[in-house]
Amino acid sequence: METMRKKAIGLTAALVIIGFGAAAMSLFYWQIVRGEDMRTAAMDQSLRSTTLPAMRGSIYDATGTKVLAQSASVWTVVLEPYFIAGDEEARRTIASGLAPILGLNEEELYEKTGKKDSYYEVIKRKIETETRDAVNQFLVDNEIDSGVRLIDDYKRYYPYGRVAANILGFTGLDGNGLEGLELYYDDELSGTPGRMVSARNGWNLDMPFEKEQMVPAENGNDLVLTIDETVQSILKKYLAEGIEKYEVKNGAVAIMMDVKTGGIIGLSVSPDYDPNDPFTVLDEKMLSDIEALPEEEQDEAYSAALNLQWRNKAVADTYIPGSVFKMCVGSMGLEEGLITEDSMWMCTGGVHFEGMKDPIKCWKHGGHGSTTFREGLCNSCNPWFMHIGDLLGAETFSKYREAFGFTEKTGIDLPGESYSIYHSVEGLGPVELACEAFGQNFTITPVQMITASCAIANGGYLVRPHVVDRIVDPEGNIVKTADTSYRRQVISEKTAATITDILQQNSESGTANGGYVMGYRVCGKTGTSEKVDKHNEDRTKPMEYIASYCGFAPAEDPQYALLVFFDEPGGEDVENSSFTGGNKVAGPIFSKIMEEVLPYLGVDAQYTQDEYDQLDLVSPSVVGKTLEEAYKQLGDMGLTCQVIGSDWDTSITVTQQIPESGANVPKGGMVVLYTEGFDEEGTLVEVPDLIDYDLANATYMATIHGLQVSVRGVSEGTVSLQSIDPGQKVKLGTVITLTFAENINTDGHAPELDE
Amino acid sequence: MAAGSRTARGLRRVPQSGPPRERPGEEGPKKKTRGRRIRQRFQVFSLGQGLDMPLFVFIMVLLAVGLVMLFSASYADSYYRQGDSYYYIKRQGVYALIGVAAMLAISTFDYHHYHKFVLPVAGVTILMLLAVVLFGRVLGIEEIAPSEGVAVRWLNIFGIQFQPSEIAKFAVILIFAHLISLYAGKMHTFRYGVVPFLGVLGLFGLLIFLEHHMSGTLIILLIGGAMMFVGGTRPRWFILGISLLGAALVCYLLFGGSYQIDRVVGWRDPFNAPEGVDTYQTRQSLYAIGSGGFLGLGLGQSRQKYLYLPAPQNDFIFAIICEELGMVGALVIMVLFGVLIWRGMYVSLKAKDRFGMMLGLGITFQVGIQAVLNICVVTNTIPNTGISLPFFSSGGTALLILLGEMGILLNISRSASVEKT
């Protein structure tokens, strides 16, 4: 018995000590040594962290009421195959049920449900409320509580479509800004996503007794722009008109800026796109070019075209400013006291430089003769400005060039601003200086040019161009406002006033008269830059031009500056086109934009007597009245009339009138009255081609066709634009609006730019 | 052997039968025994009379802690799977009440009567084991012998579901205790000390093995082996037996295909288990244990019981204990088992005869082996095999049998010469 006891004690001791000892060591290892690992792993499998997307801020126009970009709730459908991979029936149910709702391939969906190691398989992004409801209904009907999840998301909408596309930009699939303001202000707009950490049990259901921990998302801030949607639409409308009329081949830019704050009120570029569908090329010419390519090159060409249409030409591209730059060079001369507006200089049609075979010519090959500086600027005389350049010298010229902001980025709040390309002080030899002095042989961005013109318009102060006026948080508090302080004073107010005065004269009777706006004192300067470097690349092709017009209004107290430029106007046959010059191409568009925008912006028209006389009357409504009443009413207004149809009795009722009620009719013009029984066909006439006629001839031509003319702006020179295209059939008495502008290529041939 | 004439109830029969006969050398001086029995006269009707209080207290403490932990571990799982958070604890609670009552009743039943039960118990057990094999393996009648995977462990008769292997463990203990007391003095011989035992073990082991109930087979062998060792079988036979079993194991591993090797690899590193080796339960168990850390997440705070750890109320309940009560709690539970085992052994060693001693030791070994193996499995100290934790794991009949065995142990304590307070 004693040995049995010993054995029993030994055995029990061995069992307990060895067994529990080993277990205790294991415990120590797994609980203490590896405890943290195990805890983390256990947490990982039971905690689900869900990102709560922040709602992206909206973008408003300057009125604060028009939404240019906003986000709306959508959902992303996600599979959690881990929980269903082993359940054949559930996989099949989900695949066959969701595929038709989401428009997916059932077999592919079924494959995805079998990825047993995955917790997260996106199967469809950005579904809208209806689809979401259908998915939820399906899940409820089939009692699926695990394996399929809907994640909150947002989709971006741009209610005004293409209107401000290149300013706004667009967002990617995950809501991040890819272009434009969406990119530049991505941090402000995107907000801070929240997080929800929830504990799940082994069946992926919420743990019943544990609260979810949530860090709510902070929605993004809103942007209020200086861009006014109305102005923007006007810019866009006329830019499109100009591109079509003048057969512009390489896009166009129109920028309107508040000269005192630097706020950009409108910025329209072409080509553009629809931010709601940014991956579709809209430009028909680009599309047809792509289709003409061999199949394998089309993809590349398409993405190149996409990049082109996403570009903001006003900021990301540089151009040769041409004669527009002369307003700055003139300011430099005046400011330095080297010239006065009455200084004289002799233009012989060209300036000869040492080492060059040919002289650098003035656009007027015969020369302008001896003129004052005022005349020289209005004539856009190249030798005058080469002379100023010579007077200034490279150093002073560079100093002012820098002061006007041509050598640095403007800091505009849009992505991808380009650097300008110019000669350094050392590189500015006599020839280079002469060329730069009349705006050739260096490139700047359109935004730099308009900012410099603002400095002349506002009395000499260089402003900061910007697109965003203020940033507003979701509660409506202003977080940040645009810096509207001046960067520096470039020229004195006196100099600025002198140049302003000359430019006003220029737009009325100088080489920039295409931009004249009736009722407003507009200051303007044309530019017709030669694309020399492109020409040098391929001499077989004709020289292409950039036709630009830059100006501001009203002259008494300049408030708004506008730069319009068309890249490569004149169609395929440039050499024989009469639409290449800044005055003839960009001028009328400048004029039309100003005429429509200024009243909207609250700048009232003030007509001079001459202008008043020229001003059209508004056609009264005489339809429904008797002929007798109509005769009297029109007679009182000084209008004549012609009756078509029965007119034997003055009590006959007028059934139609041309011009229609509310339309323009020239002073002393005619209203055609229609009565019962007129011949519809017989009253239609074909519009004649009035382009290149002077006013007298154009009026004559119109009259013999039974039409009337009305003049927009100055009536000197020849017709550059008629409101109704030749060949169209219109009713007798229709008023055709004519625009007069000369096509002057106000730039001399300049030597090649070496960078 | 005149064991039948003795009773653990002691004094009730003393006036009629006079002083009990004694086997010399087994008990203390007559005078001392008499003195103690006189004291007991005043506790005739008490159930606690003669009970070993420490043992009783340890049993009740373990049972109470076991029930609390069972509720904590099971309520989430049973909520989701049974639709009732109280599903397991209600059943276990009822069985515990019945079990405690049975334990106390059995503790008043003189263990010497069990000599008479050896053959019936052995016979019935073998019949039941055969029934499992017959209905489960041969006929495949799920209603009577439901299968779980490859194993068929349960028998479903008369509306009661139980594992005959649980009864078999007791049967082996009983048979071995009987044989050892019968062959006292001849245990060193091969004929008496090895053959009959090997025969019994072989028969029961084979039947349970046929159930594909590996852990049951293992436990039966361990219990039997331990009892033989204590009973006096020569160590050389153990060396031989262990060598043979070891060789068989090595052969099994070597020729059982790479899958067996993979299982070993999977056991050593459950987080990088080879393809085809499912270590999910082990991994979840270790997550639970690790999550507990030193002090635990607190009672009821386990995350792993939320459908991550399979059957947390059963074989892996100890993982939930580790998670909720930490290393400290787990060690306390181990200490509780340790003292229970120690006290069980102590009481058994003080039993008045060989039969009582071996019966008590067998029961103690069973509890000890199961507790140690279960905890070692849960902590991945040994490879995963289905062993439940006594007093803790859910399972009504198993608990009933366990408490019944505790009753026997307590009965042995009544007549044992132990200081029982």
Q: Which one is predicted more confidently, A4 or B60?
A: B60
pLDDT score, position A353: 83
Q: Which of A2, A16, A33, A45 to mutate to test the interface with B (most CBs of B within 10 A)?
A: A16
Do the Cβ atoms of B303 and A26 come within 8 Å? no
Q: Do A710 and A737 touch, CB atoms closer than 8 A?
A: yes
Nearest to B287 among A26, A38, A203 (CB): A38
Give the fold, CATH level 3, of A314-606.
Answer: Beta-lactamase (3.40.710)
Report whether pLDDT(A117) > 90. Answer: no
Q: What is the pLDDT of residue B179?
A: 93
For chain A, the helix, strand and coil percentages under 3-state DSSP, each to the nearest 5:
40, 20, 40
Report the alpha-carbon distance of residue A359 to residue B221 in Å, rounded: 117
* Position A151 pLDDT exceeds 80: yes
Q: Give the A window 428-447 contacts with B, CB below 8 Å.
A: none
Taking a C-beta distance cutoff of 8 angstroms, is the pair B100, B57 a contact? no
With CA atoms as reference, report the closest residue to A144 among A83, A103, A99.
A83
Q: What is the pairing mode between strands A148-157 and A194-199?
A: unpaired
Element (H, E) at A457: helix A446-457
C-beta atoms of B307 and A12 within 8 A:
no
Interface check for A19 against chain B (CB to CB < 8 A): the answer is yes
Q: Is A663 helix (H, G, I), strand (E, B) or coil?
A: coil
A345 near A470, Cβ under 8 Å?
Answer: no
- Look up residue B124 and give its two tokens: 């019935």
DSSP states along B155-207:
EEETTEEE-HHHHHHHHHHHHHHHHHHHTTTTTTSHHHHTHHHHHHHHHHHHH
CA atoms of B366 and B405, how far apart (whole Å): 10
CA distance B372 to chain A (A): 5
How far away is chain B from the Cα of A193, in angstroms, using its nearest Cα?
28
Instruction: Give, in degrees to the nearest 5, the angle at Cα B335 between B329 and B340.
Output: 130
Q: Identify the three-state secondary structure at position B6.
A: coil
Q: Does CATH number 3.90.1310.10 belong to domain A50-165+194-223?
A: yes
| Secondary-structure breakdown of chain B: helix, strand, coil percentages, each rounded to the nearest 5 | 70, 0, 30
Please give the structure tokens belonging to residue A511. Answer: 């080489």
Cα distance between residue A466 and residue A264, in whole Å = 6
User: Would you tell me how many other CB atoms lie within 10 Å of the CB of residue A350?
Assistant: 19
From B141's Cα to the closest Cα of chain A, the distance in A is: 28
Q: For A719-742, how does the pLDDT look when each residue is reduced to its tens digit (9 = 90+)?
A: 877 888 888 888 888 888 887 766
Residue-range domain boundaries for chain A: 2-33, 50-165+194-223, 314-606, 612-741
Closest CA to A406 of A509, A292, A328: A328
| Distance between CA atoms of residues B190 and B233, nearest Å | 8
Half-sphere exposure of A574 (CA within 13 A, CB side): 21
Contact present, A298 and A498 (Cβ < 8 Å): no
Q: What is the pLDDT of residue A297?
A: 85
Interface-testing mutation among B289, B332, B341, B359, with chain A (most A C-beta atoms within 10 A): B289
Q: Is the dihedral of CA A590, A592, A597, A598 positive or negative?
A: positive
Residue A679 confidence (pLDDT): 67
CB A57 within 8 A of CB A189: yes
**SS3 per-residue string spanning A607-656:** CCHHHHHHCCEECCCCCCCEHHHHHHHHHHCCCEEEEECCCCCCCCECCE
User: What does the pLDDT read at residue B47?
Assistant: 52
Residues 6+ apart with CB under 8 A from A467: A167, A181, A225, A226, A227, A263, A264, A267, A412, A413, A414
Cis-peptide into A159, omega within 30 deg: no
Neighbours of B192 (CB within 10 A): 19
The answer to whether the Cβ–Cβ distance between A38 and B291 falls below 8 Å is yes
B287·A41 Cβ contact <8 A: yes
pTM higher than the cut 0.80: no
The span from the CA of B348 to the CA of B342, in Å, is 10
pLDDT at A210: 62
Q: Which residue has the higher pLDDT, A270 or A662?
A: A270
> Helix axis angle, B396-415 relative to B354-378, nearest 10°?
140
Residue type, B414: R
**Tokens 């031509």 identify what position?**
A701
Q: Is the pLDDT of residue A294 over 90?
A: no
Q: H or E stretch including A68?
A: strand A67-79
- Is B372 in Cβ contact with A42 (below 8 Å)? no
Task: Give tens-digit pLDDT for A628-653.
Answer: 888 888 888 888 888 887 777 777 88
Classify domain A612-741 at the CATH class level.
Answer: alpha beta
The tokens of A276 are what?
Answer: 């709601």
Tens of pLDDT, residue by residue over A46-63, are 887 777 888 899 999 999
Q: Give CB contacts under 8 A, 24+ apart, made by B125-131.
A: B125/B164, B125/B167, B125/B168, B125/B171, B125/B204, B126/B203, B126/B204, B126/B207, B128/B155, B128/B164, B128/B167, B129/B164, B129/B165, B129/B168, B129/B204, B129/B207, B129/B208, B129/B211, B130/B207, B131/B155, B131/B157, B131/B164
Cα–Cα distance for residue pair B303/B289, rounded to 1 Å: 11
Continuous H helices in B293-351: 317-349
Q: What is the mean pLDDT of residues A194-208?
A: 78
pLDDT value, residue A366: 81
pLDDT surpasses 90 at A572:
no
| Residue B342 to chain A, least CA–CA distance (Å) | 7
The confidence score (pLDDT) of residue B419 equals 66
Residues A340, A344, A350, A354, CA torsion sign: negative
- Minimum distance, in Å, between the CA of residue A26 and any CA atom of chain B: 6
Cα A231 vs. chain centroid, distance in angstroms?
A: 11
Instruction: Kindly compute the dihedral angle of the four CA atoms of residues A103, A104, A105, A106, in this order, to the nearest 10 degrees.
Output: -90
Residue A234 near residue A66 (C-beta atoms within 8 A): no
A494: region left, alpha or beta (phi > 0 left; psi from -120 to 50 alpha) = alpha
Helix A2-14 and helix B354-378, axial crossing angle in degrees, nearest 10: 10
Label residue A744 by pLDDT band (50, 70, 90): low
ipTM value: 0.87
In the three-class reduction of DSSP (H, G, I as helix; E, B as strand; rest coil), residue A694 is classed as: strand
- From chain A residues 201-240, the ones with a CB under 8 A of any chain B CB are 201-203, 207-208
Instruction: For chains A and B, count residue pairs whose Cβ atoms are closer than 8 Å.
Output: 139
Write the CB contacts of A278 (distance below 8 Å, at least 6 apart in sequence): A165, A170, A178, A179, A306, A310
Distance (Å) from the alpha carbon of B349 to chain A's nearest alpha carbon: 6
Residue A747 predicted with pLDDT over 70: no
Task: Note whether A50-165+194-223 and A314-606 share their fold.
Answer: no
Widest Cα–Cα separation across chain A: 152
Which residues, including other chains, have CB under 8 Å from residue A538's CB and lie 6 or more apart? none
Query: Can you point out the beta strands (E) in A147-212?
Result: 148-157, 194-199
| HSE-up of residue A276 (Cα within 13 Å, Cβ side) | 12
Q: Give the one of A19, A30, A31 whose C-beta lies nearest to B294's C-beta.
A: A31
CA distance B268 to B286: 13
Return the structure tokens found at B99: 């079990």
Q: Which of these, A464, A420, A219, A392, lies nearest to A316 by C-alpha position?
A: A420
How far apart CA B87 and CA B309 sit, in angstroms, is 18
Considering only CB atoms, B286 lies closest to which of A28, A30, A32, namely: A30
Find the residue in B nearest to A207 (Cα): B306
- Strands (DSSP E) found in A80-147: 121-127
Q: Which residues of chain B have pLDDT under 50?
A: 1-46
Q: What is the mean pLDDT of chain A?
A: 86
